[in-house]
Amino acid sequence: MGEEGPRNGSRRLPRAAREAQILQVAAEMFAAQGFHATSMDDVAAACGVTKPMIYSYFGSKPGLLAALLERTGAELLGGLALMAAIPDPEARIRATLDLLITRLYEQTASWRVILSAMRGDGPLAERARGYRAALIHAMLITLAELAPPGLHRAIARRRVSPYAYALLGAAEAGSEWWLNTPGVSRVETTATASRVLDAMLALIRRDLDIPV
């Protein structure tokens, strides 16, 4: 029974704090070594706890990955909910871009894992792609709000739909570039992303017949 707790020398933590620690360590190890190459023994040793403790919290290694995706996705959706309160659509788009860049810099390992999961198969990949779908939907709604008052909402959404996908595709590609290009400053990343967004917004306004 004693093996259920922390290993000798590991400080006892409340369950919520221990779960957060395990998720962070797992994110870093999955990002560095890959999900399949990382064992539960590896995660337990890095956390200073026993493997049975991790199983009691998450059930399995896929369960651990699912919890990591859930945490990252919930934080993303929470950020999108805050962005929705910004009344000006262009300001909302720029704030969403800044949110994604912030997450990329502050939660690099988690974002590397979720981007990798999106390329996979099965329920976990579907869950990861569900967060992408939420981002696309939020972007679609916001871009449609750029339309002039006389343009029917359904027509506006149809016109901006490819741009919503293109913007998120650019964000994902930019994230992959950043993850594989060490040393890029946040200032440079933000400036590059802003230039891409400016070009895309000019195209959107043209297609919506808005004077640029």
Q: Are 104 and 129 contacting, i.e. CB atoms less than 8 angstroms apart?
A: no
Distance separating alpha carbons of residues 179 and 176, to the nearest angstrom: 5
Q: What is the pLDDT of residue 152?
A: 87
Q: What is the pLDDT of residue 198?
A: 95
Domain boundaries, the chain: 2-59, 68-207
Distance separating alpha carbons of residues 147 and 20, to the nearest angstrom: 43
- Three-state DSSP at 6 gives strand
Same fold, 2-59 and 68-207: no
pLDDT 10s digits, 133-169: 999 999 999 999 999 888 888 898 999 999 999 999 9
Neighbours of 164 (CB within 10 A): 21
Query: Dihedrals φ, ψ of 188, to 5°?
Result: -65, -40
Q: Are 201 and 160 contacting, i.e. CB atoms less than 8 angstroms apart?
A: no
- What fold characterizes domain 2-59? Arc Repressor Mutant, subunit A (1.10.10)
Bridge partners of residue 49, in order along the sequence:
6
Of the CATH numbers 1.10.3470, 1.20.1270, 1.10.150, 1.10.357, which one belongs to the domain with range 68-207? 1.10.357
Q: What is the pLDDT of residue 1?
A: 35
Whether pTM exceeds 0.75: yes
Q: Are 68 and 107 contacting, i.e. CB atoms less than 8 angstroms apart?
A: no
Neighbours of 48 (CB within 10 A): 14
The alpha helices in the chain, defined as continuous H runs, are: 15-33, 40-47, 51-58, 61-83, 89-106, 108-118, 123-144, 153-179, 186-207
CA atoms within 13 A on the CB side of 57: 27
43 closest CA partner among 70, 63, 71: 63
69 closest CA partner among 25, 114, 38: 114
Point out the residues of the chain with pLDDT beneath 50: 1-4, 9
Q: Are 62 and 124 contacting, i.e. CB atoms less than 8 angstroms apart?
A: yes
Q: Give the single-character DSSP code of 49.
A: B
Q: What is the pLDDT of residue 5?
A: 53
Q: Are 21 and 47 contacting, i.e. CB atoms less than 8 angstroms apart?
A: yes
Q: What is the pLDDT of residue 123?
A: 85
Bridge partners of residue 6, in order along the sequence:
49
